[in-house]
């Protein structure tokens, strides 16, 4: 925003304030838009300290201001009338948030807040007496269009208790203190360089930051409305801010509050002039920054879902789609209905998984995208379902459970979409990483839009065939070949079942897999019996459902008893150490390059990259020559430390590849699809 326009906007706002003050002067007793009261925490003792609070409650749509209101506004101004010998200290405000109006940044409170102030009682106070005190409190109440100066005359009285007594205190002060910024407790520094103010704050690397914002207590030091850039370098948070044009000289100190997240957590700091490190990993803004780029993120999620149709992890599910595509040639109405049903199944699965993921994270669980395949029970259920589908495709039984191979079945198409999305979404395509990472930081409505866009991307090819006659005409005509094709499609589905059994071994051990295998054999025998009944023209639904219910009971009771911790995976070609934050910090402190990669046994994209680019002798030799330390994070099973790191990098799942150059330079996030010589070339450079 041009500086002259900012000055004009500021002058207009101040003219509105002055005009409102003149109009309000004759009616000082008019109701206020921010209700204020003065509250004492407890009784006091002679010479002791009692905490007071200004309890401020704005009306809907109105806001009050922080100690430094920003480009416009006024903080609280108390004028005290105290007993002789009593004194008050500095006002202590909770963590504010920024409100940008007409190019002006305001530091405000839009909901109820309390400002605390310490009161030192006179040493001559008499026990059992009550000391009255009063204050004339002035403040400015504003909406996005109007500002009104307001004031109130507030009174309270402090009871003087005997020394050593433990008087009851007002429980509200516990919550009000919790809203105050915590003191940083470590030395911070700042430096001026041209139009930039650089601030170095010692913040632990493991502390999660979501859309942070820095509020300076000193006036006319910063351009409040300018964007703020945050960089992490180990346990140092580097903040780059734009210097105010009217800054006359370097301030002796720079103090303020760093808001850590949207929940209102924050730390207060005081920084002295000094040197501030350069470089570091830039934090991507959440909140408003992501909201402004929401259309691009939706496009990325749509493209990522579209590309999932050709990713290795989705190929086995294509056999189910192929049967539906072949059936689509029967009639235009059937094709469209089946396409819509399939798309509805895909979108429903993606939205349900997204809602569950957001709900679990809101409840404190550290989970990420594809969390469903980190649960042994879910993997076992999928493996048994894959066995049932394989038996259906082979022709052991014809009962459509849940209708994958029934011609013209909209229920089957919907169920196919559910399964395709449930199994396919753990793999993240090249365009999905940013979108799924942003979904964990955005508000729930925007995040859910991203999950729906992902589902639409997965379903898009099938929808195109269903609604574009020219594409359908290119499909083979239905005929006897479909039965042979159906039998051949049992092969990839059977391979999917084997892959799921292997994954179950990685999650629950081989004893667990043995239990799953016994259930699978029992399931096949049950389905074979159902098929025989069908071929004799007898009803098979009741015995089949009864048998399935019995198997489910056995699985729920016995399978958890067979679980064991699987043996550690053998060392690969590339020597790697297990990932942990301390291990990463120690490796970086050595001054050598560090390669960190995160994988999972259920992520086929990860396994392809490992075979193509990571577990290669040429990569091992190049890393050994460059002294590269390799850290491997295995996310097959749920690991809160890995989940926290993925979230900090803006990644919702695996694969994730990070390169830390020698000498402590800024880390680089590598592409999710690696070329054969990509890592070796990186090490040589």
CA–CA–CA angle 162, 166, 170 (5° rounding): 115
362 vs 674: which has the higher pLDDT: 674
CA 582 – CA 587 distance, rounded (Å): 9
Q: Which two tokens stand for residue 538?
A: 């007898």
End position of a domain, from candidates 147, 180, 213: 180
- Tell me, yes or no, whether 530 and 661 share the same domain: no
- Residues comprising the chain, all counted: 685
What pLDDT does 308 receive? 75
Number of domains in the chain: 4
Mean pLDDT, all residues of the chain: 80
**Global pTM?**
0.47
- Tell me, yes or no, whether 546 and 586 share the same domain: no
CA 109 – CA 114 distance, rounded (Å): 10
pLDDT at 330 over 60: no
Which range, 178-182, 241-245, 287-291, 529-533, is most confident? 178-182
Q: Which residue has the tokens 């006319």?
A: 220
- Tell me, yes or no, whether 294 and 202 share the same domain: no
Examine residue 571 and state whether it is found in any structural domain, yes or no. no
Nearest to 429 by CA among 650, 610, 633, 671: 671
Domain of 99, CATH number, reads 2.60.40.1250
Examine residue 105 and state whether it is found in any structural domain, yes or no. yes
End position of a domain, from candidates 146, 180, 214: 180
What pLDDT does 51 receive? 93
- Tell me, yes or no, whether 619 and 676 share the same domain: yes
In this prediction, residues 217-225 reach a mean pLDDT of 88
- Does residue 433 contact residue 327 with C-beta atoms inside 8 Å? no
Which range, 208-217, 469-478, 569-578, is most confident? 208-217
Burial 129-149 (b: 16+ CB within 10 A, else e): eebebebebebbbbeeeebbb
Examine residue 568 and state whether it is found in any structural domain, yes or no. no
What pLDDT does 402 receive? 42
What pLDDT does 150 receive? 92
- Tell me, yes or no, whether 409 and 498 share the same domain: yes
- Tell me, yes or no, whether 363 and 245 share the same domain: no
In this prediction, residues 235-254 reach a mean pLDDT of 82
What pLDDT does 671 receive? 84
Please provide residue 197's backbone torsions phi and psi, each rounded to the nearest 5 degrees: -110, 120
**How confident is the model over 485-512, as pLDDT tens digits?**
777 777 877 887 887 888 788 778 888 8
Examine residue 626 and state whether it is found in any structural domain, yes or no. yes
Range with the poorest average pLDDT among 110-119, 177-186, 399-408, 552-561: 399-408
**How confident is the model over 661-684, as pLDDT tens digits?**
887 677 888 887 788 888 988 888
What pLDDT does 629 receive? 93
What pLDDT does 541 receive? 75
- Tell me, yes or no, whether 399 and 516 share the same domain: yes
Domain of 655, CATH number, reads 3.40.30.10
- Tell me, yes or no, whether 484 and 425 share the same domain: yes
Q: Which residue has the tokens 């039998």?
A: 487
Examine residue 91 and state whether it is found in any structural domain, yes or no. yes
Examine residue 572 and state whether it is found in any structural domain, yes or no. no
**How confident is the model over 271-308, as pLDDT tens digits?**
999 999 888 887 865 444 444 467 877 887 888 788 77
Examine residue 425 and state whether it is found in any structural domain, yes or no. yes
Which residues span the domain enclosing 256? 183-283
CA–CA distances in Å: residue 77 to residues 94, 109, 115, 135, 502 = 16, 16, 11, 10, 69
Examine residue 30 and state whether it is found in any structural domain, yes or no. yes
In this prediction, residues 305-323 reach a mean pLDDT of 62
- Tell me, yes or no, whether 151 and 272 share the same domain: no
- Tell me, yes or no, whether 344 and 468 share the same domain: yes
- Tell me, yes or no, whether 533 and 678 share the same domain: no
Domain of 276, CATH number, reads 2.60.40
**How confident is the model over 602-645, as pLDDT tens digits?**
776 777 788 888 988 999 999 999 999 999 998 877 777 887 78
End position of a domain, from candidates 529, 562, 595: 562
- Tell me, yes or no, whether 269 and 309 share the same domain: no
Instruction: State the pLDDT confidence band at 560, using cuts at 50, 70 and 90.
Output: confident
Instruction: State the pLDDT confidence band at 86, using cuts at 50, 70 and 90.
Output: very high
Which residues have a Cβ under 8 Å from the Cβ of 519 and sit 6 or more positions away? 380, 384, 551, 554, 555, 559
CA 467 – CA 478 distance, rounded (Å): 18
In this prediction, residues 179-204 reach a mean pLDDT of 89
Range with the poorest average pLDDT among 205-209, 261-265, 426-430, 502-506: 426-430
Nearest to 151 by CA among 34, 26, 66: 34
**How confident is the model over 393-415, as pLDDT tens digits?**
788 876 543 444 444 567 777 87
How many Å is the Cα radius of gyration of the chain? 32
- Does residue 46 contact residue 125 with C-beta atoms inside 8 Å? yes
């Amino acid at each position: 925003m041009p500086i002259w326009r900012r000055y004009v906007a500021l002058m207009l706002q101040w003219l509105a304030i002055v005009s409102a003050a003149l109009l309000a002067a004759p009616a000082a007793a008019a109701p206020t838009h921010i209700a204020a009261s003065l509250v004492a925490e407890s009784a006091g003792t002679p010479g002791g300290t009692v905490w007071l609070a200004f309890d401020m409650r704005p009306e809907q749509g109105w806001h009050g201001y922080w100690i430094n209101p920003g480009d416009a506004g006024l903080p609280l101004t108390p004028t005290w009338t105290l007993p002789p010998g009593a004194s008050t200290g500095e006002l202590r405000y909770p963590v504010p948030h920024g409100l940008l109006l007409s190019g002006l940044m305001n530091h405000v409170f839009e909901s109820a807040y309390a400002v605390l102030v310490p009161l030192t009682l006179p040493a001559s106070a008499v026990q059992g007496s009550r000391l009255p005190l009063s204050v004339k409190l002035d403040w400015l109440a504003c909406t996005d269009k109007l500002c009104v100066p307001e004031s109130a005359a507030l009174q309270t009285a402090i009871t003087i208790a005997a020394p050593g007594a433990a008087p009851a205190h007002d429980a509200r002060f516990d919550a009000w203190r919790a809203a105050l910024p915590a003191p940083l407790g470590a030395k911070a520094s700042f430096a001026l360089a041209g139009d930039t103010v650089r601030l170095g704050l010692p913040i632990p690397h493991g502390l999660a930051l979501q859309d942070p914002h820095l509020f300076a207590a000193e006036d006319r030091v910063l351009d409040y409305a300018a964007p703020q850039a945050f960089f992490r370098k180990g346990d140092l948070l580097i903040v780059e801010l734009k210097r105010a044009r009217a800054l006359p000289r370097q301030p002796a100190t720079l103090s303020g509050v760093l808001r850590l997240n949207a929940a209102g957590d924050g730390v207060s700091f005081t920084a002295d002039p000094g040197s501030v490190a350069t470089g570091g990993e830039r934090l991507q803004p959440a909140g408003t920054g992501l909201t402004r780029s929401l259309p691009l993120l939706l496009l990325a999620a749509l493209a990522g879902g579209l590309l999932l149709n050709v990713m290795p992890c989705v190929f086995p599910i294509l056999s189910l789609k192929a049967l539906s595509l072949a059936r689509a040639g029967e009639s235009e109405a059937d094709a469209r209905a089946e396409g819509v049903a399939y798309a509805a199944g895909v979108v429903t699965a993606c939205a349900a998984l997204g809602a569950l993921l957001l709900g679990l994270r809101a409840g404190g669980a550290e989970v990420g995208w594809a969390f469903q395949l980190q649960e042994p029970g879910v993997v076992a259920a999928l493996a048994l379902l894959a066995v049932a589908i394989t038996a259906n495709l082979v022709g052991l039984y014809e009962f459509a459970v849940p209708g994958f191979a029934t011609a013209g079945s909209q229920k089957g198409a919907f169920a196919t979409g559910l399964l395709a999305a449930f199994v396919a979404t753990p793999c993240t395509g090249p365009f999905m990483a940013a979108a799924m990472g942003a979904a964990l930081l955005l508000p729930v409505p925007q995040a859910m839009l991203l999950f729906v866009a992902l589902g639409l991307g997965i379903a898009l090819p099938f929808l195109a065939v269903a609604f574009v006659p020219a594409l359908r005409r290119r499909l083979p005509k239905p005929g006897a070949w479909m039965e042979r094709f159906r039998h051949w499609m049992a092969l990839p589905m059977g391979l999917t079942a084997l892959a799921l059994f292997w994954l179950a071994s990685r999650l629950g051990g081989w004893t667990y897999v043995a239990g799953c295998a016994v259930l699978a054999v029992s399931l096949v025998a049950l389905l074979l019996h159902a098929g025989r009944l069908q071929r004799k023209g007898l009803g098979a639904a009741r015995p089949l459902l009864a048998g399935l219910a019995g198997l489910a009971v056995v699985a729920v009771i016995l399978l958890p008893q067979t679980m064991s911790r699987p043996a550690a995976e053998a060392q690969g070609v590339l020597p790697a150490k297990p990932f942990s934050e301390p291990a990463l910090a120690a490796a970086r402190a050595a001054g050598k390059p560090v390669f960190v990669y995160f994988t999972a046994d259920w992520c086929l994209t990860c396994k392809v990259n490992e075979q193509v680019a990571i577990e290669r002798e040429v990569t091992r030799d190049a890393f050994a020559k460059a002294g590269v330390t390799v850290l491997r994070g295995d996310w097959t099973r749920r690991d809160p430390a890995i989940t926290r790191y993925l979230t900090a990098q803006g990644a919702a799942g695996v694969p994730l590849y990070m390169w830390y150059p020698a000498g402590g330079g800024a880390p680089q996030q590598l592409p999710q699809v690696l070329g054969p010589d990509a890592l070796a070339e990186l090490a040589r450079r």
